[in-house]
Amino acid sequence: MSEGVALYPYLVLGALLFTCGVICMATKRNAIGVLIGVELVLNGSNINFVAFSQYNPDFQVEGMIFALFVIVMAAGEAAVALAIVLNFYNNHSTVDVDSAEELKG
Amino acid sequence: MFDAEMFMFWLIASLTGLCAIATVITQNIVRSATWLLFTLAGTSSIFFLLGADFVGAIQLLIYVGGTMVLVVFGVMLTAQGPFVNMRTSGAEWAISIVAGLMLLGVLCFGLTSFQNLPTGEALAKAKDAHTKQRKANDPKTSTHASTIGQALSGVGYGPIYKRMPPLPPTKDAKGNLVTLPGVPRETERIHYLLPFEIVSVHLLVVLIGAAYLARAKRRRGGKA
């Protein structure tokens, strides 16, 4: 194969974004930082979906449609999560996730 | 030979990856959100490079336009000072980075052991066919926005997968065998109408839920 990019670099990029998102979720203490990590994870999966849709002929439309569904889900998830964060901030005057321990068993 | 696609891919991919890493290691949440903005824009560039124009445009519109504005508003509404730092301790960083590198290693190892993919000539052939389809603008096979719209609206796309079997020959009044034209054949194409409807209802629920959760009920300063 002489021209073009193979599939693997795209998948590695998706894996890199996924890992960055997981580390972001684990290390950030700001609730919005955790949300940013979730967005990174979803973007990594989206890169995988679209890359597969372009490189696998049987998956041409499905990959894009799943990517669109993921984007819509991410938008909804961001809205609900930010609403929860705002509510939490109204009650506790902080967005530090370490102080959210009322549901601790 | 200078390969423009290869060059663009490595340029965009390295920028996107660096922005993602910067998103993680920045302590300031506003800067983190800004790096996320660049990461999302880079992802949409990757989509454009892959030929998924519609998804790339939607990524720009919804993610970069909508979700980022939401996140930045969240940062603004919850900031306790202009530069709030919630530091993560060094030990936590070390554990997270070790765990993250191990996860990345496992993922990359999983990629290399993934067999069921076209490689080499088959891949080149598939890409060639794909490019031809995109150039031909055939709505049945190309990955245009119209194809995605057909798939989502229930019209369906691609070949017709199921047909009713043709009616068996029957005898008419004179006893001759005739093949009736029969009922119209039932066609069934792949479509994603049900997930589309579910997503619509999901968005409505999200709208109501977010409005309910974030309603103006000031109870700042601890308890009630």
Q: What ipTM does the predicted assembly reach?
A: 0.91
Average pLDDT over residues A24-31: 89
CB contact under 8 A, A67 and B55: yes
Residue A99 lies in a domain: no
What percent helix, strand, coil does chain B show, rounded to 5?
A: 60, 5, 30
Average pLDDT over residues B156-161: 64
Phi, psi of A6 (to 5 degrees): -75, 175
Contacts of B50 in chain A (CB under 8 A): 10, 50-51, 53-54
Q: What is the pLDDT of residues B194-216, one digit of tens each?
A: 999 999 999 999 999 988 887 86
Residue B67 pLDDT: 82
Look at residue B65 and give its three-state secondary structure. helix
CB contact under 8 A, B103 and A19: yes
Phi-psi region of B128 (alpha: psi -120 to 50; beta: other; left: phi over 0): alpha
Instruction: Write the residue in B21, B108, B143 that is nearest to A15 by C-beta.
Output: B108
Whether A6 and chain B come into contact, CB under 8 Å, resolves to: yes
Count of positions (residues) in chain A: 105
CB contact under 8 A, A61 and B148: yes
Whether A59 and chain B come into contact, CB under 8 Å, resolves to: no
CB contact under 8 A, B13 and A9: yes
Residue B80 pLDDT: 65
Beta bridge partners of B178: B170
Residue A101 lies in a domain: no
Question: Which of A22, A62, A95 is the best mutation test for B, with the most CBs of B within 10 A?
Answer: A95
CATH code, A15: 1.10.287.3510
Look at residue B86 and give its three-state secondary structure. coil
Listed in sequence order, the residues at least 6 apart from B186 whose beta carbon sits closer than 8 Å to its beta carbon are B162, B163, B164
Residue A41 lies in a domain: yes
Look-up: residue for tokens 């936590």?
B92
CB contact under 8 A, B121 and A90: no
CATH of domain B7-80+131-213: 1.20.120
Q: What is the pLDDT of residues B134-154, one digit of tens each?
A: 555 554 455 577 778 888 887
Domain count for chain A, please give it.
1
Whether A46 and chain B come into contact, CB under 8 Å, resolves to: yes
Half-sphere exposure of A97 (CA within 13 A, CB side): 15
Residue-range definition of the domain harbouring residue A69: 7-92
In chain B, where the domains are located: 7-80+131-213
Whether A4 and chain B come into contact, CB under 8 Å, resolves to: yes
Q: What percent of chain B is predicted at pLDDT more than 70?
A: 68
Q: What is the mean pLDDT of chain A?
A: 86
Residue A2 lies in a domain: no
Half-sphere exposure of B43 (CA within 13 A, CB side): 37
Whether A99 and chain B come into contact, CB under 8 Å, resolves to: no
